[in-house]
Amino acid sequence: MRKASVIIIILLSVLCVGCYKQVHCPGLPANLDYFPYYDGQILKYANSQQNVINFVIGQVENHTKSYTCQESPKCPECKCGCAFSKAFRTGNVLQNGVTYIYASFSTEGSGPKTITSVGIGLLFTCFVDDWSHNRFNKIVYQGKKISYNQVDEYLEDTVLLENENNMIITKAVIVKGKGLVSYTTADGEEWELIE
C-alpha cells in the first residue's frame, strides 16, 4: 500500500511539472536607464552662489535583467507581467535640509514582450524643523501594449517632475542616461548637477 502511494505521488508530481508554462521576460533595453548610477558614486550639485552639496549613492537596486517565471493554467489571472525596475538611494547625509534621495524607474507589462505602463518616482526625505517627505510620481507612459523594442519611442529623454505642495523640493529634472540633473527648492533655488 505504501509503495503504491509513493508511485502515485511521483506520477502526479511528474504530471504537474507540465502544468506550468515557462515565460521568458526579456531584459529592459539599456537605453532606458534613467538612473545610471553605481554604489559609492558621488553626485555633486551647485546653486547660483556656487555652493556645492554632495550626495553619495549608497545603494542601487537593479532589476532589469532577463528572467523566467512560471504561469499555471489553473490560475488564469496569475500571468507573468514581466515587470522591471531600477532604483537608487543616497546615504543619510544632511545636505541643505535633504537627508537622502530615493528614486525609481519601473515598468509593468501584460505579457512576456509587452509594456503597458512606465513610471518614475522620486522621494526627497528632508529635515528642517521636522521630517518631511517630498514625493514626486509620474507615469511617463500608459496605454496600449507596446513591445520592449519600441518602448523608447514612447518615452521622453527629459522628465520634469513638479509638486508645488512639497515643502522643501518643488521641482526635479531627470534625463535619460544622466539621472537627476537638477532640483529646485521651495525658495526658488535651483541646484544643478556638476558633471
- Strand intervals (E) in the chain: 21-25, 42-46, 52-63, 67-71, 84-90, 98-108, 114-127, 131-147, 158-162, 169-175, 179-185, 190-193
Question: What is the overall mean pLDDT for the chain?
Answer: 75
Give me the pLDDT at residue 14, please. 46
pLDDT per residue over 62-96, tens digit each? Answer: 877 877 777 777 766 666 667 778 888 887 555 55
Confidence of residue 15 (pLDDT cuts 50, 70, 90): very low
Count CA within 13 A, CB hemisphere, residue 60.
15
pLDDT per residue over 126-165, tens digit each? Answer: 555 555 566 777 777 777 777 766 777 777 889 888 887 7
For 84, phi then psi, to 5°, come to -135, 155
| Higher pLDDT pick, 4 / 135 | 135
